[in-house]
Amino acid sequence: MEQLVLPLGPPDLDELFQRVLHRLRVKSPVTSLVAQFHAFAGLRSTITLRNSKVKAQVSDLLMEAPPLVLEALAEILLAKIFHRRPSREARECYLAYTFRPAMRVRIDAARRERGSKRLLPARGRQHDLDDILRRLNSRFFQGKLAVARIGWSPLASRRILGHYDSGHGAIMISRRLDSPSVPRYLVEYVVFHEMLHICFPVERHGPRRVVHSREFREAERKFPQYEQACRQIKRLCA
């Protein structure tokens, strides 16, 4: 007797999102809902609501995710545009799946393959990030911390002073800090902070993402001018 084997393919996101929308009992009229997978450079998903039309784009890295995980993400996205709070179960389900080690490897690989990291040279007009990184690595990490690249940001951001990109193994420091008015210890502190993100990656505690764990904060306070740097950053970002 021959067996009928149904072809496996990506789930019907339109139907899945419609099902979750009905479950949320949203009172606002929705005339159309389109949801599709998109090849983002990483685990990114977006949703918009314009003229009663909903459009969602879900990272194609989730094409093989169980329907329960996709429904959890749909609830999170829909709750966002309709000013609802997603359930704890939805947030915990989604984070549990995306924080699996194999998934983190896929995310970092996609960011390297699909995206790029534009950095200005590490030697700035006032501060040399390569030199700062090398000295900090030797002093606090026995020279064993691996950082592929470090450089200044193209834009002089005053909100994001530093960022560590695990996909590219790169540290980016805001060009705003490359100024004669910014003391070297402050740049050192920001670089040190981003280096700690390599040692203490983002964790999951139930439905929450913990970017700065207790261990992270304890290690951060070992910086000699920690208190002074924190006060200086508050003034700088005010």
> Do the domain assignments include residue 94?
yes
Q: For residue 136, what is the domain's CATH number?
A: 3.30.2010.10
Taking CA atoms, 140 is separated from 13, 216, 218, 222, in Å, by 48, 14, 13, 9
152 and 204 in a single domain? The answer is yes
Q: pLDDT for 50-95, tens place per residue?
A: 999 999 999 999 999 999 999 999 999 999 999 999 999 999 999 9
The structure tokens 């979750």 sit at 20
Q: How many CB atoms sit inside 10 A of residue 54's CB? A: 23
pLDDT for 10 equals 66
Taking CA atoms, 102 is separated from 25, 45, 99, 107, 109, in Å, by 35, 19, 8, 9, 11
pLDDT for 121 equals 96
Mean pLDDT of the chain: 92
Range of the domain at 84: 13-114
How confident is the chain (238 residues) per 10-residue block, as mean pLDDT? 49 93 91 95 94 96 95 97 95 95 92 88 96 97 93 91 93 96 97 96 86 95 96 86
pLDDT for 83 equals 93
pLDDT for 116 equals 81
Number of domains in the chain: 2
